Amino acid sequence: MESRQTSNASANRLQFLVGEERGLRDVISEAEVLPLLRGAVRAGAFAAALADAEGKVLWSHAAPDAGEQGGSAGLRGPAILLEGEPVGSVLVKGEQGREEFLKGIAVMLTAAVNLLVGSNLKRMLTTEIHTTVVNQSYEELLETNRKLAASEARYRELAESLEIKVEERTAELKKALARLLQQEKLASVGQLAAGIAHEINNPMGFVTSNIHTMQKYLARFVEMLQFSRDLVAGAPGEAERERFAGKWRQLKLDMVLADVDELVSQSLGGAERVKKIVADLKGFSHIDDLGETVADLNAELDRTLAVLVHEIPPGAEIVREYGTLPGFSCRAGELCQVFLNIIVNACQARNAGLRIVIRTELSGDAIVIAFTDNGPGIPQEFLPRVFEPFFTTRPVGQGMGMGLAVVYDVVTAHGGTVEAGNSPEGGASFVVRLPLSSA
Amino acid sequence: MIEYDAEQKRMVLKLVYYGPAMSGKTTNLLKLHDLITQEGRGDLMVLDTTDDRTIFFDLLPFFLVAPSGLKIKVKVYTVPGQVRHDATRKAVLQRADGVVFVADSQLAEAANNFESFDNLEKNLAFVGIDIEKVPLVVQFNKRDLKNVASEEEIARVWGPTGVPVTTASALEGWGVVETFTKLLELTYAAIDRKYRLLEEHGLDGASFVRQMTNVGER
Ligand SMILES: Nc1nc2c(ncn2[C@@H]2O[C@H](COP(=O)(O)OP(=O)(O)O)[C@@H](O)[C@H]2O)c(=O)[nH]1
Ligand SMILES: [Mg+2]
């Protein structure tokens, strides 16, 4: 009976509910949306805006000279959904006659806003339940405290352990929160990138196919031009021949004809490259995988390196000493994140002459992946702390010091271990060991 | 219980999938998400389940509009089953308008089912919900496995309580929509009494259920 009363008392004090209703403006902010709108304008729209369900514009961005350009009527994207409810849409304005293009932009912008809404909502829900649970635990602690007061002797004894518990709890919560923040951030950045990559595929499809068609048409133009030239060359009438040749020179058609093929094939090459980047990005984020898959970790390392090309300092040497590995059942996207964090870390070890060796092998019943760089190594006193959240020796602004903490978490969650050390030559080394059995 | 705002013409319902750890609650929502194709079905949010976190439940939202213009949002949650996440369970259970209890049919799980149902009773009382009145459906899941409690045994235990019981294999995808439908029917009946959904908003039980469970051709 007594415990029932206690429970009710603390239920009354509970202030947070899970799943509070939210509108569009509660979920996303101007600071998050404006860059997306600016992106749309940079991509070629005159103006872009986000409106709520009633059509009222919440935020907008226009090109500086949009006023003079006039342009098309506003084009509305598909509905933005918040928990299934249509809560707004994007509006895009642009050049008259380019509706298809503007529609593409509107669709892309909508996808980006939807992703933002989804990941923010998830983050809010996580924080919300966290707050609720923490509050409740706090109430429970108070309750314990009150009971303790009843018996002075027991109180003394228990209060000590309670204090330790509170300390432990606080440290634990701090760690959990830090990890959560980082994971959410990684997840949402990855999702956003992958989502946009996905959306880029569609327009890229028609761009590529149109260029192919244009290539065919161009060949016909070229043929017709040459045909006319031959025809005119043989025709009587000196004056006409001279006019034709003059116009030919004025339009620099010799140069154009020599160049046009090259231009088109270069554009096709560029389109192919975009497709490849998108494929790399999607592969890396494993956006299409749910849960565990069987992965070839050598291929995952290659994928990660492909995504990282621009982070690796010029002139750096990456040595891949891959052994033969069996398929490994894992959450591959998370492991890619591990590889990425370790490699990015190594890239910052030294500026010129950087060399990173990545060795993989099957050792007993575990896959071992060793990353060694030729930087200055890790000072002995830091070795025990490198995997702690927020531990960083780099200046403020260069990362939160979360990269290696995430490495530790992910590897541990896969039943593996990761060790930081220094190679005999002096550089830092990270050895990830993933047992085949536990996966 | 229910959140109702006459001025804004909005209503928010909360349905909760309760049960022991690993009984198939998340799988139920995953299947509902896959099977139901109605336009207002939102995305499933799985708040992740790595082992040492205090913070997980799943959420599948739905949205529909009654003929009167009343906007109805239905949020379907799962709770974490592990004993140590009781605080999360209480928080999610607060203000619930309906509950599905997902039991694991395997004989070896009988004790866990019992313990979890006991915990449901306690926590409903804790958050001030009368277990006799709240719409409640019990689902016996994992019927595809061997060594499961027989239907006769289930009927013998649950028959006298009057609580509706469904059987399902969330893994294979059957019984899931049926369980959800049953809960929606009970929930509709409970709120119609109070909010006159039919008289004032022109929404009858059958079309509420139909709109929520529009199962696509697949
Ligand atoms: N054989 C079988 N397995 C199931 C069924 N439903 C769920 N599972 C499995 O049981 C495990 C736990 O399911 P999950 O939905 O995560 O349980 P939760 O903890 O209640 O959310 C998973 O491995 C599921 O694949 C079912 O109907 N039959
Ligand atoms: Mg679950």
Mean pLDDT of A139-146: 61
Q: Which has more pLDDT, A330 or A290? A: A330
Nearest CA in chain B to A119: B45
Residues in A touching B59 (Cβ below 8 Å): 19, 125
d(CA B91, CA A281): 38
What residue owns the CA closest to ligand 1's atom 23? B22
The predicted-structure confidence for B142-198, as pLDDT tens digits, reads as follows: 999 999 999 999 998 888 888 999 999 999 999 999 999 999 999 999 998 888 899
Q: What is the mean pLDDT of chain A?
A: 78
Q: Check whether A321 has a pLDDT greater than 90.
A: yes
Q: pLDDT band at residue A357, thresholds of 50, 70 and 90?
A: very high
d(CA B134, CA B136): 6
Quick check: CB of B213 below 6 Å from ligand 1? no
Residue A106's identity, in one-letter code, is A
Assign domain B3-212 to its CATH architecture.
3-Layer(aba) Sandwich (3.40)
Q: Check whether A129 has a pLDDT greater than 80.
A: no
Q: Minimal Cα–Cα distance from A90 to chain B, Å?
A: 19
What is the percent of chain B with per-residue pLDDT over 70, rounded to a whole number?
Answer: 93
Q: Minimal Cα–Cα distance from B151 to chain A, Å?
A: 33
What residue owns the CA closest to ligand 1's atom 2? B142
Quick check: CB of B171 below 6 Å from ligand 1? yes
| Closest by Cβ to B61, choosing from A83, A132, A136 | A83
The predicted-structure confidence for A380-417, as pLDDT tens digits, reads as follows: 888 877 887 666 665 544 444 567 877 887 888 888 99
The predicted-structure confidence for A413-435, as pLDDT tens digits, reads as follows: 888 999 999 988 889 999 999 99
The answer to whether ipTM exceeds 0.85 is: no
Interval between CA A223 and ligand 1 midpoint (Å): 67
Supply the pTM of this predicted model.
Answer: 0.54
Q: In DSSP terms, which residues pair with A186 in a beta bridge? A: none
A379-386 CB contacts, 8 Å cutoff, 24+ apart: A383/A420, A383/A421, A386/A420
Q: Are A44 and A92 in contact (CB under 8 A)?
A: no
What residue owns the CA closest to ligand 1's atom 19? B22
Instruction: Break chain B into its structural domains and give their ranges.
Output: 3-212
Q: Check whether B55 has a pLDDT greater than 80.
A: no
Q: What is the mean pLDDT of chain B?
A: 88
d(CA A117, CA A252): 53
Kindly give the number of the ligand 1 atom that is closest to the alpha carbon of B21: 19
The encoded tokens of residue A69 equal 């350009």
The angle at the Cα of A215, spanning A210 to A221, to the nearest 5 degrees, equals: 125
Kindly give the number of the ligand 1 atom that is closest to the alpha carbon of B172: 27
Mean pLDDT of B99-118: 94
Torsion of CA B89, B94, B98, B102, to 10 degrees: 0
Q: Do B42 and A17 touch (CB under 8 A)?
A: no
DSSP type of residue B24: S
Interval between CA A289 and ligand 1 midpoint (Å): 19
Mean pLDDT of A22-39: 87
What residue owns the CA closest to ligand 1's atom 28? B142
d(CA B27, CA B29): 5
CATH homologous superfamily, domain A293-435: Histidine kinase-like ATPase, C-terminal domain (3.30.565.10)
Torsion B75-B78-B84-B86 (CA) sign: positive
Q: Are B83 and A6 in contact (CB under 8 A)?
A: no
The predicted-structure confidence for A245-257, as pLDDT tens digits, reads as follows: 899 999 888 888 8
Pick the ligand that lies closest to the CA of residue B57.
2
